[in-house]
Amino acid sequence: MVGLLVFWPSGDDDAKSAKQEDGKSASAKANRRGRGKGGEGAARGGGGVAARAVDDATPGASIKGKVNPALLPKKVGMAPGIPEEEPPPKFDNVEDEIAWYEKKLEKANTQLQARERNVERLLKVKQKAEDSPDPTAALARYEKSKRVVEQNLEKAKAKVADIETKLAELRGE
């Protein structure tokens, strides 16, 4: 059924009207329309699409658009400082205060473990500095980094010790 509809000869003479009296197709005749003297096209030879006329750019006529601030580059500056530690809230009983300090001790221990891992990585950093193309500059950077890492480790140890003493006082030990 579908084959009959698709392949059935139509009553239109579209295919026949494409042929002209002289036996050449309409497209060949259209190609000859754009030709000027000598059989060449006026614009680009053999017909085709010619360039359009455009207005020249006028100086000072550019439109100042509004830029979405989300698309602008981010302002990069120094990293924000470490927020100050908030004072402990007022507690109704000692058990709540102990629970609050225990949570704080967990966070401090996590920080201490991270600082200890950084100290362990210093050996690899020193080895890379010695193997670098410019070992004197790399070792200087290593020494500077080493001081910072060790200071951070000492601060983390002191913070854990302070929280543990506070917990010992609250528990009455």
Give pLDDT tens digits for 114-124. Answer: 999 999 999 99
The 3 state secondary structure assigned to 137-157 is: HHHHHHHHHHHHHHHHHHHHH
55, 57, 61, 66: CA torsion to nearest 10: 100
Contact between 132 and 167 under an 8 Å Cβ cutoff? The reply is no
Q: How far is CA 119 from the centre of its chain?
A: 32
- Provide mean pLDDT across the span 140-153: 94
Cα distance between residue 46 and residue 35, in whole Å: 6
Give pLDDT tens digits for 42-81. Answer: 445 556 787 888 877 776 666 667 888 888 877 777 666 6
Give pLDDT tens digits for 103-115. Answer: 999 999 999 999 9
Q: Tell me the whole-structure pTM to 2 decimals.
A: 0.51
